[in-house]
Amino acid sequence: MLLRKHRLECGFSQEALAEAAGISTSAVGAYERGVHGAPHRSTVRLLADALALTGVVRAQFEVSARRKPRSSDDTAPLTRGRPPLPVTSFIGRERELQQIRELLARHRVVTLTGSGGIGKTRLALRAASQLAATYRDVWFIDFSTIADEAHVASHVASTLGIPPPSSDAAFESLATQL
């Protein structure tokens, strides 16, 4: 809501703010709707810069976007990076889910590919949710908010809670940390 308030005060449409910040329009909309409640710090800075926020107003904006810390007595798996809960039921595709489980038993990383709109994300989220009960390190990293490939490595690091990679050779630095 705060993002929307500042955007409207600046006279930006979602598209104009997205362009000024170098992020996707869908990301701006998702942040305003609360779909992505805790954007990456670099995304918050990009938005604050695009909105020309300064001083106390900028500080309040940045604080409002921070991830809430996990309590020390929480024994449940991490919520940051956990697959989001589905909003509708999942029917079918048991064969594909079984294939994903078999592939993950042999490989550390599995990538689902295919045409847009066929349900890759939905299938991956279902598989991740099922596997999270068995494996401690099942992570969901949402790239829909990333418009510039230069932010991918820092977004991955932030989601995983590891130090951000150096600007030089970001992907190699991230791979070393992983």
pLDDT of the residue at 78: 38
pLDDT of the residue at 69: 47
Please state, in angstroms and rounded to a whole number, the distance separating the CA atoms of residues 10 and 50: 10
Residue 132 lies in a domain: no
Query: Hey, CA dihedral for 72, 74, 79, 82, is it positive or negative?
Result: positive
pLDDT of the residue at 72: 38
Name residues of the chain where pLDDT drops below 50. Answer: 69-79
User: How confident is the model over 79-101, as pLDDT tens digits?
Assistant: 456 666 666 667 788 999 999 98
Residue 85 lies in a domain: no
pLDDT of the residue at 73: 39
pTM of the full structure: 0.46
Count: domains in the chain: 1
Contacts of 81 (CB under 8 A, 6+ apart): 139, 140, 141, 159, 160, 161
Give the pair of three-digit tokens for residue 174. Answer: 């991230």
Phi then psi for residue 63, to 5 deg, are -65, -40
Residue 121 lies in a domain: no
pLDDT of the residue at 26: 83
* H helices present in the chain, as ranges: 2-10, 14-21, 25-33, 41-50, 55-64, 94-106, 120-132, 152-160, 170-177
Residue 45 lies in a domain: yes
Residue 146 lies in a domain: yes
pLDDT of the residue at 12: 93
Give the pair of three-digit tokens for residue 150. Answer: 């230069």
Residue 81 lies in a domain: no
Task: Tell the residue number behind the tokens 């992020």, with chain if given.
Answer: 23
Residue 29 lies in a domain: yes
Q: What is the CATH number of the domain that holds 40?
A: 1.10.260.40
